Structure 1
Amino acid sequence: MRVHDEPAYVLHQHDWSESSLILELFTRHHGRVVLVGKGVKRPTSQFRAVLLPLVPLRVDWSGEAEVRSLKAAQYAGGHVMPAGDALLAGYYLNELVLRLMARDDPHPALFDPYAAAVQALAQGDDVSVTLRAFELLLLRQLGWLPDLALEGLRLLPLDATQAYRLLPQAGLQPSGPDDVGALTGAHWQAVQAALDAPDPWLALRGLAPTLGMAALRIGLASLLHYHSGVRSFRTRELMRAMRRIGPRPIPPLNGSSS
C-alpha cells in the first residue's frame, strides 16, 4: 500500500538507529500512524529540516505493517513552529493526541481543529483559549463529552443560575457557587451551543472571553485524565514548572552587577 501527499504533523519521534528515526504522525485521513524514516538523521538527508513537530507537512509512505516506511516529506507551508510558552502548549496538544487517540483510527474531523490550534499558537493567540477549544473538540470527537445543556444523571435542562461541575462518570452535576471547577448552567449551555455551531472552532474561541477559563480547564482536565488513564500530563507539569521559575534576568555583558 502506498499513501501519497497526505497532510500530516509530527507528534513524536525517537531514535531507531544511528541514522534513522521512528516517527509518530497525526494525519488527516489515517489518524495516528507510525513510520520509520530510514537515513533521515544523516547530514545529507533532505528530511532533517522538515521532520519537525508542529509544522504542517505532506508525506508519502508505503507498507501494510504496524510500522510503515517513510518515502517523502515536504513542508506544506502556512506557518513556522510556535515558540516560548506556545511551543510547550503545542507539545501538550501532541501529548493529548498520543494518549487519547488509538493508532490507525481515522478522525478527519479532528485534523482541521488540530491544525487551526497549532497555527493559532504560532501566531501568538491566547494559549488558554486555544487549548480549551481543542480539548472540547477532542473530547467530543472521541465520544467522551456529555451533552453540556443537560444535567448528567437526570438528563434535565440546566438551571441557568445554578453552578455545575463536570464529572467524568456523571456529566454535569449541581455544585456550590464557590467550587473552583464550576460554571453556571448558562455558561455550559453556551458552550454546547458553540459546539453545535456550523464552525465550532470559531464559535468556541469567540465564546471564550465570557467564560471562566480556570473553571473550564479544571472540568475538562478531569475528563482528560480519566480517559487517558494518567494523573497528569508531562507537558502540563513542565508548563507549571516554567511558570514557577519565571523569566531569568539577562546578566550584563561585562559581568558587573550594576
Structure 2
Amino acid sequence: MAAKRVSDEPAFVLHRYDWSESSLILEVFTRHRGRVALAARGAKKPTSNFRPVLLPLQPLRVTYTLGAEGNAEIHTLKGAEWAGGHVMPMADALLSGLYLNELLLRLLARDDPYAALFDVYAGVVRVLAGTQGETLEPVLRAFELILLRELGLLPSLAEETMTLSALSARSRYMLVPEGGLRQAAAGERAALTGAQWQALEQALGAGHAPQAYTAALRAAAPVALALKSQLRTLLQYHCGNPLLRTRQLMMDLQNL
C-alpha cells in the first residue's frame, strides 16, 4: 500500500536533531496536524536542497509521507520550500523566538492540531522579524496567555480559582501553579489588581485565538513586567524539569 502523502502543509521548524552523518530529525509545528517529527534524509549534505530551508522561525511549506499507515512516530520529509514573507529575527528577537519554540516543543503533544495557535505563532514570528529594539515583553506575554488558554492550562482570570468568587477591582491577586488565581499576600510585588486580571480575561474571550491575541497584546502591555514572573513560573511548572534552556540562556546573558 502506498504511503499517505501530506502536501504543501504550512509549517515551522521548532528543533532539529542529528540522525546520522547526513540526515536530521525535525520537530515541526504544522497548521493542520500540530507537532510532527520528520526525517530529513540527506539534509546535511552540501548539495541538499534542504540545507538553506530547514531553519527555525521561517515559514515553510512541507510535503511528507506518513509511515506505518500514519501510526509511525517519525514521518519522511519529501519536500520543503520557504513560504516567504520575512527574514530571520535577530538579537533579542531571535532568542525570544527560540523561547517560543521551546515552549511549543515541551507543551504540545504530537499529532494534536492547533490551527488557531499556529496562526497566532506565525503572526508573532512576523512581529519578531520586524522588531528593531522595541520592547518584546507584551508580545511574549500575550503569546504565553494564548498558549496556556488554548491548552486548557489557564484558569478563569475573572474569579478566584479556589472560591469562584468574583474579583474585587481594587484588590490584588497572584496567578500560581495548582492554586490558580488567589489574593496576593503582603509584599508580593508582581500582583495585579482584579480590574487588570478581568481586562486580560475579557481580551482572551475576544473571538478566536488570532483576534484574542491582538486584544491580549493591548491588555498585557501595561502589566507585562508584572505578568512575566507569574506566567513563566506557571509555564515552567507545566513544562516540568529541567529548566527551559532558553530561559537559562537569558539569565546567563543578563549576568555577563
**Amino acid across the alignment from 1:216:** L
Alignment partner, residue 214 of structure 1 = 225
Cα distance between partner residues in 2 of 1:193 and 1:82:
31
Aligned residues with identical type, % of pairs: 54
Superposed displacement of residue 231, structure 1: 5.7
Q: 1:193 to 1:54 in 2, by over 3 A?
A: same
Cα distance between partner residues in 2 of 1:243 and 1:219:
19
Secondary structure at the residue paired with 1:103? coil
Deviation per residue, 1:95-133 (Å, 9 max, x gap): 100111111111112101111111111111532111111
Alignment partner, residue 204 of structure 1 = 216
Q: Which consecutive unaligned segments of at least 5 residues does structure 1 have? A: 246-258
Matches within 5 A, 1:216-231: 216-230=227-241
Cα distance between partner residues in 2 of 1:79 and 1:236:
25
Alignment partner, residue 191 of structure 2 = 182
Superposed displacement of residue 61, structure 1: 0.2
Superposed displacement of residue 17, structure 1: 1.0
Alignment partner, residue 254 of structure 1 = none
**Amino acid across the alignment from 1:113:** V
Equivalent in 95, 99, 103 of residue 106 of structure 2: 99
Equivalent in 60, 75, 79 of residue 68 of structure 1: 75
Secondary structure at the residue paired with 1:49? coil
Matches within 5 A, 1:35-184: 35-63=38-66, 64=70, 65-124=72-131, 125-176=134-185, 178-184=187-193
Larger radius of gyration: 1
Alignment partner, residue 37 of structure 2 = 34
**Amino acid across the alignment from 2:17:** H
**Amino acid across the alignment from 1:105:** D
Cα distance between partner residues in 2 of 1:62 and 1:126:
41
**Amino acid across the alignment from 2:241:** V
Coordinate RMSD, CA, aligned: 1.2
Cα distance between partner residues in 1 of 2:233 and 2:185:
17
TM-score normalized with structure 1 length: 0.91
**Amino acid across the alignment from 1:224:** L
- The size of the alignment, in residue pairs, is 244
